[in-house]
Structure 1
Amino acid sequence: MTTVFPLPSPVLPEFSTLVLKGPYHASAPIHLCLTHVANRPGTKAVLLTPSRDNFIAALRDLNDDWLNECGGYGSVSQALSRVDVFYPPTPAHASLALSMLRVSRPEIAPSSLEIASPCLVLLHEISSYFLDGNNSGLHTLASYLSLVAHALSTLRSLSEQVSGSHVSLVLMDSRLDSLSLPVLQPSVQAPDVDLGGQSEPSFRVAFLIHHYFEWVGTFEFKETPPQMESFTHFLRLRETARGDDDEADVIMQWRQIDGQPRVFNNNRTGVVFVFQ
């Protein structure tokens, strides 16, 4: 039972590979990793995200009340201790981290990023590698796809290390739909005029990345009447094998609102999720 919300809440379908895109809440990756390991004793989750500062700032800005209230509880804290977060600053560092993942073996001294299996590997906001920074113009469509393919290859290797084990991959990328990359890297020696005034066209990464995953989830929201002071949020989940079958979609609907004032002061709690 895995979800991107505080429990009790709607749960995600069973999956081996899942991509989540769109404006999801900042605490979604935490809840996903937490609920994954909490229901699977002895497992761990590995979360790779490009920037520690951005990750923490987003969590602070959201102010998830459940994490504030329950994050320090013994059972929750114990489960969170089995979520390892790494901050590879470039795609090369992310690939290196993935290649170092191994299933832990008590008889051998640890020499790499050893994890228990089965487990969850979560790639978070990796479009930042290709949309931000001074080297963003050096990347191509293969840069993004190869990182995902590397993760899938790593998961297969981890699953083979222990008989009967199962490792899942989740890609969470809020800007995936807006990411377009060229197939070929533009030549720095050939001016645009020599190319007939046309540079290499860009292609939408999301169009191809869907083929790597069993499930695709898209977060959306719409404005509600002003007096409600909130948005209505949606998560539409589609199994890729079903193609364009809208009737088979799994849809979750909720609102994010500020909690009620606390009993002993006038300070309000953080954001809570109200399901519809």
Structure 2
Amino acid sequence: MLRLSSLPQFKSLLVHGPYHPSAPIHLSLSVPPPHLTLLFSPSRDALLQALQGHPDEWLNTHSGTGTFASMSSRVTVFYPPSPKHLVAVLSLLRVHDVSVPVAPKVTLDRPPTLLVLLEPSAYFFPEKEEHTVSSYLLLITHVLSTAEYLSSRSFDSSPASVVVFDTRLDQLKLPVLRTPPSSAFDERDDPEDVPRPESVLFFAAKYFELSGTFQLRGQADSDLQTSVLALHRTGQGEIQSIRL
């Protein structure tokens, strides 16, 4: 299981490539009381389907217990269906202040310790002309700045950490610049003038202190394969492998 205590201290972590759908759930639940976790997913149905398609024995065994209910009560999940909705939710989040009217859905009892964003690349498949690399990076910067803002609302809370899980980020390619609009009087575009799609991962990884990928290690035809999270510090090689 992926637990916060098993990771080195960090402010931001990007997990890209395949991972077990329950990994973000375990990570969110592992935040010790009384601290809070905020989890953002583009689709409730997609998240549930992924969990149902890859059953987790621990979740199946403990999901009906009082301990699990106590742990899950400290995790708040949002399902913003578009990039604009995600930015709006992040902008509205506030820590409770007696001098400000309470908006129940976006007012927190205390600053969160962990913010988890799931599958932001889902907002950009299939690729559309209006999407650029900056469209993805804008979501990342909003999450990071929200974590910093919420942490600043309390002097007795440690800074919030941000984790992004994105299975399809390795495949996501978007242009750096938007294709300029054409008119009937324009000459036919030269193929070399059309913005070339670039790997979004290359740019996104620079915004994170750590990046990681899940790997299966051991013989492929053996039952002794183990899942390992290989962590890299930005600009450096592998710094730690965590067996799960």
TM-score where L is the length of structure 1: 0.78
Could you tell me which residue of structure 2 aligns to residue 179 of structure 1? 172
Could you tell me which residue of structure 2 aligns to residue 26 of structure 1? 21
Could you tell me which residue of structure 1 aligns to residue 125 of structure 2? 131
Tell me, in whole angstroms, the C-alpha distance in 1 between the residues paired with 2:15 and 2:146. 20
Could you tell me which residue of structure 2 aligns to residue 204 of structure 1? 199
CA gap of 1:78–1:70, structure 2 versus 1, over 3 A, is same
**Could you tell me which of 60, 67, 73 is aligned with 1:68?**
60
Tell me, in whole angstroms, the C-alpha distance in 1 between the residues paired with 2:167 and 2:116. 14
CA gap of 1:225–1:152, structure 2 versus 1, over 3 A, is closer
Structure 1 position 188, deviation (Å): 4.5
Tell me, in whole angstroms, the C-alpha distance in 2 between the residues paired with 1:215 and 1:173. 14
The reply on whether 1:170 has 2:163 as its aligned counterpart is yes
Matches within 5 A, 1:93-108: 93-105=85-97, 108=100
Could you tell me which residue of structure 2 aligns to residue 257 of structure 1? none
Structure 1 position 103, deviation (Å): 1.0
Could you tell me which residue of structure 1 aligns to residue 242 of structure 2? 252
**Structure 1: runs of 5 or more not aligned:** 254-274
Structure 1 position 195, deviation (Å): 2.7
**Structure 2: runs of 5 or more not aligned:** none
TM-score where L is the length of structure 2: 0.88
Tell me, in whole angstroms, the C-alpha distance in 2 between the residues paired with 1:233 and 1:137. 38
Tell me, in whole angstroms, the C-alpha distance in 2 between the residues paired with 1:92 and 1:251. 36
Structure 1 position 67, deviation (Å): 0.3
**Could you tell me which of 12, 32, 47 is aligned with 1:17?**
12
Structure 1 position 102, deviation (Å): 0.8
Matched residues, percent identical? Answer: 38
| Counterpart secondary structure, 1:161 | coil
Tell me, in whole angstroms, the C-alpha distance in 2 between the residues paired with 1:224 and 1:104. 52
| Counterpart secondary structure, 1:123 | strand
Which stretch of structure 1 is more off in the superposition, 140-149 or 186-195?
186-195
Tell me, in whole angstroms, the C-alpha distance in 1 between the residues paired with 2:174 and 2:20. 26
Matches within 5 A, 1:189-268: 189=182, 194-198=188-192, 199-221=194-216, 224-226=219-221, 228=223, 232-240=226-234, 243-246=235-238, 249-253=239-243
Number of equivalent positions:
239
Residues 42 and 80 of structure 2 are in contact (CA less than 8 Å); yes or no, is this contact kept in structure 1?
yes
| Counterpart secondary structure, 1:138 | coil
* Paired residue type of 2:178: Q
More relative contact order, 1 or 2 (CA 8 Å, 6+ apart): 2
The reply on whether 1:88 has 2:80 as its aligned counterpart is yes
* Paired residue type of 1:251: S
**Could you tell me which of 71, 74, 86 is aligned with 1:79?**
71
CA gap of 1:78–1:147, structure 2 versus 1, over 3 A, is same
Tell me, in whole angstroms, the C-alpha distance in 2 between the residues paired with 1:217 and 1:168. 15
Structure 1 position 162, deviation (Å): 1.4
1:227-262 CA distance string (max 9 Å, x none): 64x85433101222xx3334xx21134xxxxxxxxx
Residues 38 and 112 of structure 2 are in contact (CA less than 8 Å); yes or no, is this contact kept in structure 1?
no
CA gap of 1:171–1:227, structure 2 versus 1, over 3 A, is closer
